[in-house]
Chain A
Amino acid sequence: MKNWKALLASVSLIAFTSGASAAELNIYAWSGEVPQEIVDDFAKETGITVTFDTYDSNETMMAKLSAGASGYDLIEPSQYTVQVLAKQGLLQELDHAKIPNIGNLGAPFKNVSFDPGQKWSVPYIWGTTGLAYNEDCVKTPPTSWKALWDPQYEGRIYMLDNMLAAYIAGLQVNGFDAGTTKAEEIEKATQSLIEQKKVLGGYNSTNYGDLLATGEACLVQGWNGSIAQVMATNPKVKYVIPEEGGSMWIDGFAIPKSAKNVEEAYKFIDYIMRPDVAAKAADLSKSATVIDKAKELLPKEVVENAAIYPPEAALMKADFILDVGDATKLYQDGWTKVKTAQ
């Protein structure tokens, strides 16, 4: 009898506490870009219970959103993804009155081409797609995507396991612009990527930084943030934006139409745009912040790290990938050919 009472008491306690904690926030963000510490700080400061999941490609996130109620209140799409999601009608129009800190955005990020006036998204960090190498096995610093086709590193070259990213290298190595919509250029790039498979160790967009740091890989295609995180502990790892241009990207926050905890999502966006928080996030994720006042707070070694803040000359040549529309199908067929080639 006593046991029954105890059981009843604990059950009602669970029901009570779960009913009481109303404020929740479900975040779905790029892996490695929103530090867990920032999420914990936010939860502590606001009392909101945060569930935090990550993805390693925009497409995965889009697939979950377009499949219906995903349960996420806040997502972190890249520039072209904002365009696609907005066209699909999957985003909420942002109410700037709920984001007082939006004024902290640096000038170049106030009116971005993919989302004029921050109608659907607010930029969070920016970075580049380039190549990285381990000095232990690559003696002459590479300057071109061509290094990723070099047979002397056979089996120790890794490409991002991401269609559009792989095509940045495939297109630019042929002298084309990344994000082209021309069928013959995409076809040429497909052939180059098939050719490349002979020397590849594999495709990887999750732990390629570790593969490089341990020497499993000599050369990888990568996003600068993940590489800069590895560089912090292994000085043998170097990052370069190839002379063909590479690409620049901006990842920002957006609120899905299906979001249930909209107020909490706004709170998080506003929180992470506070200069001190943005600085901490940028420092921990080794990424470039879009908040000018946050950049001033960053330690010298972050601001002077060319992998995080590349020289302007290198950025001028970088492509900025926007929604390729119907050409998506051309990329997809090409990528399937690349993946199935022996």
Chain B
Amino acid sequence: MTAPRRGNLVTLALLAPSLLSAILLLAIPILIVIAFSFAEQDTYGGAKFGFTLTSYRELFQAIYLPIFLNSLQLAVVSTVICLLVGYPIAYFIALRAGRYAGLLLALLLIPFWIDFIVRMSAWMVLLGRNGTINSALVGLGVIEQPIRMIGTYPAVLVGMLYAFLPTTVLPIYAALSGLDGRLLEAADDLGATPLQSFWRITFPLSLPGVMAAILFVFVPAMGVYAIPVLLGGGKSIILGNLIVQLFLDFRNIPLGAAVSVVLLAISSVIIVCYMRVLRSVEEARV
């Protein structure tokens, strides 16, 4: 056996477990969902395999448009908030925290060992009418009556920020921690103000991290389900809720599958755009 062929076989053997699980747990389920989206629906909630575009036709009715817009808006707003809060944190940990950087990163990640639903329920306790925040504010005399937070849009945004903050901070931190300090010293020597060197050196070099952060927040935020239900009172329906409603409440498997396929398509387009932009950023740097 020649060396290169042997090398290929070794590569294949090493890749086999992940390749196999990717096919079994990712590709096949997605193909099943796609097949269901073209299936027919019978009166009592069964799905008959076949090829019909009924579900897609139904999906593009005016009634579902607000749901797409709601989801898009929530994803955009959440991404912007996560970046505004996450960037300074990543900057501090990467460039200012010194030997405490590891500790800070650990503190950021430890809460994520706890189950997601439990963490969101904790926010329900914090934000409740008799919750920690209201009690503290009333106790301090800031407000007279407890204010309503659960069941509002800002409460949803707080939940989104909390859920997606680590996925914002980590890629930006990774990009910033590789920053060559001598570049900043050089800028300083050449008379750049701190703000100038931030905008012309630090920020452009952190862009790949920022873009990864956008991707990591925006894509899952489009399909989020539990946060609007638990913290927003389930009043404004977004794609994640629509999929649950179609599958579980309406037993309309084909339509639910069609919504999932459209969501998947939107996410894929975003990922392709991300990779294009990333490439052009990296080429510009060379």
Contact = CB atoms under 8 A, between A and B. Distances in A.
A60 B249 contact: yes
B172 interface: no
Contact of B233 (A59, A60, A66, A203): A203
Contacts of B128: 214, 216
Contacts of A201: 148, 150-151, 233
Interface in A188-202: 197, 200-202
A113 interface: no
Nearest to B63: A336
A295 interface: no
B248 A197 contact: no
Q: Majority SS of interface residues in chain A?
A: helix
Contacts of A87: 44
B234 A216 contact: no
B66 A340 contact: yes
B52 interface: no
Given A200-B233, A214-B130, A57 B151 contact: no
Nearest to A202: B233
B237 A155 contact: no
Given A60-B248, A332-B250, A203 B234 contact: yes
A326 B237 contact: no
B35 to A, nearest CB: 14
Contact of B248 (A63, A155, A215, A339): A63
A291 B66 CA distance: 49
B130 A67 contact: no
Given A63-B45, A66-B45, A88-B45, A216 B245 contact: no
Contacts of B234: 161, 202-204
B250 A197 contact: no
A98 interface: no
A296 interface: no
Interface string B244-286: 0101111111000000000000000000000000000000000
Interface string A140-167: 0000000000000001101001110000
A326 B233 contact: no
B166 interface: no
A114 B23 CA distance: 46
B265 to A, nearest CB: 21
Contact of B251 (A59, A155, A215, A342): A59
Contacts of A67: 253
Contacts of B66: 340, 342
A44 interface: no
Contacts of A204: 233-234
B18 interface: no
Contacts of A216: 128-130, 150
Interface residues of A, number: 36
A231 to B, nearest CB: 18
B82 to A, nearest CB: 24
A337 B62 CA distance: 10
B237 A339 contact: yes
Contacts of A202: 150-151, 232-235
A333 B64 CA distance: 11
B43 interface: yes
Interface string B138-154: 00000000001011100
B184 interface: no
A140 B63 CA distance: 39
A84 interface: yes
A315 interface: no
B126 interface: no
A204 B151 CA distance: 11
B148 A339 contact: no
Contacts of A158: 233
B236 to A, nearest CB: 7
B204 interface: no
B102 interface: no
A62 interface: yes
Contact of B130 (A84, A215, A332): A215
Contacts of B70: 340
B7 interface: no
Interface in B218-255: 232-237, 241, 245, 247-253
Nearest to A332: B250
Interface string A167-198: 00000000000000000000000000000010
A204 B252 CA distance: 22
Nearest to B152: A155
Interface string B94-134: 00000000000000000000000000000000001110000
- Nearest first, the 8 A-B pairs at minimum CB distance are A202-B233, A201-B151, A339-B237, A203-B234, A202-B151, A60-B248, A88-B44, A59-B249
19 contacts: A59-B251, A63-B248, A63-B251, A84-B44, A88-B46, A155-B148, A156-B148, A161-B234, A200-B233, A200-B235, A201-B151, A202-B232, A215-B129, A215-B130, A326-B43, A328-B43, A336-B245, A340-B66, A340-B237
